[in-house]
A and B are shown apart, each in its own frame.
Chain A
């Protein structure tokens, strides 16, 4: 099975096609699922960190469940300043790996 990091990059690329205003995609470490933090100019500021989990879709080349947090650029800056927190267990923002 493909490693999580490879699936994450594929998802990031696909999401950028769906949302061309995607500025950055970060991967949070996990050994069981793809955890993505996506910063986009197409979503408004919410002041909230809202994770949505999607099922694995092996038929579409996605063999892991994925959890996506969509953030505006301002919300992302608030994450960096420590004013908003990533989901528990996702680590600190500086530990995220930028993949797109």
Chain B
């Protein structure tokens, strides 16, 4: 019978694979990049939750707001993010994690979202063309995608010391 730790390791491993795919893809298909990055942070959060030992597997698996709550909890911990450069360095990445979370289909409430088209008064919209956070990540004049990817990489690298 698998333990919560086993499941946490599985989520962490898949988050790493998702992150590798995001890096490989780059900003060519910005909505797919956004979806992959959302998946990375969601899986990292589920791994962290399962490592807490204070939540059932079912509750961790079904959580939708774990990523933003993980970031908020990390920001409270004195010195925790110092090895990653400190929390202020990653302010833009934190905002992106929250925006990606809000754009999950399960939280978007029929509005703009990461995966499927949606309808507005002006017609049908879809993520690759119309999702604001995806466009921001795909903007060639911005280094936001690289910044968020680097934050995910740093979080992955320090994950075991942050969430033992």
Chain A interfacial positions (CB closer than 8 Å to B): 14-15, 18-19, 35, 38, 40, 42-44, 46, 48-55, 57, 60, 62, 65-68, 70, 87-90
Chain B interfacial positions (CB closer than 8 Å to A): 45, 48-49, 51-56, 59, 63-66, 68-70, 72-80, 161-164
Give Cα distance in the complex from A35 to B56, angstroms: 17
Cβ A54 vs Cβ B163 within 8 A: yes
Give Cα distance in the complex from A62 to B77, angstroms: 10
Cβ A70 vs Cβ B69 within 8 A: yes
Cβ A48 vs Cβ B52 within 8 A: no
Total residue contacts A-B, CB cutoff 8 A: 89
Please, which residues of chain B bring their CB within 8 A of the CB of A89? 54
Q: Which of B55, B70, B76, B80 contacts A87 (CB 8 A)?
A: B55
Least CB distance, B102 to chain A, in whole angstroms: 9
Cβ B163 vs Cβ A68 within 8 A: no
Cβ A52 vs Cβ B64 within 8 A: no
Least CB distance, A8 to chain B, in whole angstroms: 13
Least CB distance, A75 to chain B, in whole angstroms: 10
The dominant DSSP class at the B interface is helix
Cβ A50 vs Cβ B49 within 8 A: yes
Least CB distance, A90 to chain B, in whole angstroms: 7
- Residue of B whose beta carbon sits closest to that of A86: B54
Q: Report 23 cross-chain contacts, Cβ distance below 8 Å, ordered by A residue.
A: A15-B76, A19-B72, A19-B75, A35-B54, A43-B68, A43-B69, A43-B72, A48-B64, A48-B69, A49-B55, A49-B59, A50-B45, A50-B63, A50-B66, A52-B70, A52-B74, A54-B162, A55-B163, A57-B79, A65-B164, A68-B77, A70-B69, A90-B54
Cβ B75 vs Cβ A18 within 8 A: yes
Least CB distance, B65 to chain A, in whole angstroms: 4
Least CB distance, A48 to chain B, in whole angstroms: 5
Cβ B65 vs Cβ A67 within 8 A: no
Least CB distance, B89 to chain A, in whole angstroms: 15
Please, which residues of chain B bring their CB within 8 A of the CB of A42? 72
Q: Which of A46, A60, A87, A90 contacts B78 (CB 8 A)?
A: A60
Cβ B73 vs Cβ A46 within 8 A: no
Least CB distance, A77 to chain B, in whole angstroms: 17
Q: Which of A19, A57, A67 contacts B52 (CB 8 A)?
A: A67
Cβ B76 vs Cβ A46 within 8 A: no
Give Cα distance in the complex from A53 to B70, angstroms: 10
Cβ B75 vs Cβ A52 within 8 A: no
